[in-house]
Amino acid sequence: MRAGLSWQSFKEMRKSWSGGLGTGVRQEYFQGVNDEIRVPTAAEKRGLYAEAGWRIGGLVAGEPDRIARMAGIVAVLHGLLPHFYWTGFYRVSGAALVIGPYQGTPGCARIAWGKGVCGTAWASGQTQVVADVHAFPGHLACDARSASEIVVPGRDAQGRVVAVLDVDSLVAGAFDEIDREALEGIMADWGEGGTCGKRACS
Ligand code: SME
């Protein structure tokens, strides 16, 4: 016998909750973690990524569990970079990308091959830097407030894309070559399929 409230009873309680939580207010209900959104200057970005890269290495080096490494990467990046609104992993699973560790508002669970910015990064194997997501054909708006996005593929030893790191910002044009270079480096070392620097990942 199960303990606690059932999903059905949560649904019923939600209906009677005064004020309700219709689709219009749902997104506002999930406040972003990074409320004070600011795009750092180039010099600040370099400093913040230096700090992030160093902290991530210290946190996850030698950790054989891939989910634990991804969770550490996400927590450090999301906490340090003020222009990150949504930060997370999607892992290749069959014909879809399936959501992994993330921080921010609730993300879409699955993305098909070639769909949206994430699916395009998977299909092309190339980092996608999108200054205006609304101008990107097929962009998947998991949170309508996202304005710009960077998606970096991670590869296994055979060169196959096994995951993508997805970062969204509330500010248009928030990501540039500094973000690309830093995030590609972090993925190559510590992301799913990463080499873990000089230490073996597992
Ligand atoms: N916008 C992404 C979907 C994932 S969310 O941003 C969390 C895309 O178009 O692939």
| pLDDT, tens digit (0-9, with 9 covering 90-100), for 66-119 | 899 999 999 999 999 999 999 999 999 999 999 999 999 889 999 999 999 999
Distance 12 CA to ligand 1 centre (A): 30
Q: Which two tokens stand for residue 202?
A: 């597992």
pLDDT 10s digits, 123-166: 999 999 999 999 999 899 888 889 999 999 999 888 899 999 99
- Residue labelled with tokens 């689709």: 23
Q: Does 97 reside within a domain?
A: yes
148, 107, 186, 66 alpha-carbon torsion, rounded to 10°: -170
What is the number of structural domains in the chain?
1
Ligand 1 mean position, distance from CA 1 (Å) = 38
Of 198, 192, 178, which Cα lies nearest the Cα of 50? 178
Ligand 1 pocket, mutate which of 92, 130, 139, 169 (most atoms under 8 A from CB): 139
Domain assignment present for residue 3? The answer is: no
- Give residue 139's domain range: 39-190
Paired strand residues for 163: 91, 154
Residue nearest to atom 3 of ligand 1 (CA): 140
Locate 14 and state its tokens: 């939600």
Within a domain: 25: no
- Compute the distance from residue 64 Cα to the ligand 1 centre, in Å: 28
Read off the CATH number of the domain in which 175 is found. 3.30.450.40
Q: Looking at this protein, which amino acid is placed at residue 154?
A: G
Give the binding-site residues of ligand 1, using a 6 Å CB cut-off: 86, 107-108, 111, 116-118, 139-140, 142, 146, 149, 166, 168
Q: How far apart are CA 192 and CA 70, in angstroms?
A: 7
How many angstroms separate the CA atoms of 129 and 119, rounded? 13
In a domain, 15, yes or no: no
pTM of the model: 0.87
Q: Is residue 172 part of a domain?
A: yes
Q: Is residue 13 part of a domain?
A: no
